[in-house]
Amino acid sequence: MAFIYFIGHLQATAREYWLQEHSSGLITRVFLAIVALLFPDLQAFNLVDDIVAGTAISLAVFVKTALLGIFYTTIYTLLAAFVFYGKEL
């Protein structure tokens, strides 16, 4: 779980670095899309800097973040149900 946490928070930075250093070919974009699907971009949920600075969070950002959270929760809950279906716990 710790690896998922770090990958999720560093994904945007790693993606920018990878696209700047390597050519943005089809294989690179497909690889980055697969990584983005497997590991959620947790940096999208980091609103602390704006809150501490006193900046009001717009309704659009709030709705986007809430929908993203609902999407990730639904996908990973369905994935867990599929993996553990029929197994005794």
Burial of 63 from C-beta contacts in 10 A (0-12 / 13-18 / 19+): exposed
Q: Reduce the DSSP state of residue 26 to 3 states and report it.
A: helix
What mean pLDDT is reported for the chain? 84
Calculate mean pLDDT across residues 10-29: 78
Calculate mean pLDDT across residues 3-15: 82
What's the confidence (pLDDT) of residue 89? 65
Calculate mean pLDDT across residues 38-46: 82
pTM of the model: 0.67
pLDDT, tens digit, 9 for 90 and up, residues 53-62: 888 888 998 9
Calculate mean pLDDT across residues 7-35: 79
CA–CA gap between residue 74 and residue 38 (Å, rounded): 14
Give the start-to-end residue ranges of the domains of the chain.
Answer: 1-43, 47-89
Please determine, for residue 23, whether its predicted confidence score (pLDDT) is greater than 70: no
Name the token pair of 44: 């999208």
pLDDT band per the 50, 70, 90 thresholds, residue 78: very high
The dihedral of CA 76, 77, 82, 85: what is its sign?
positive
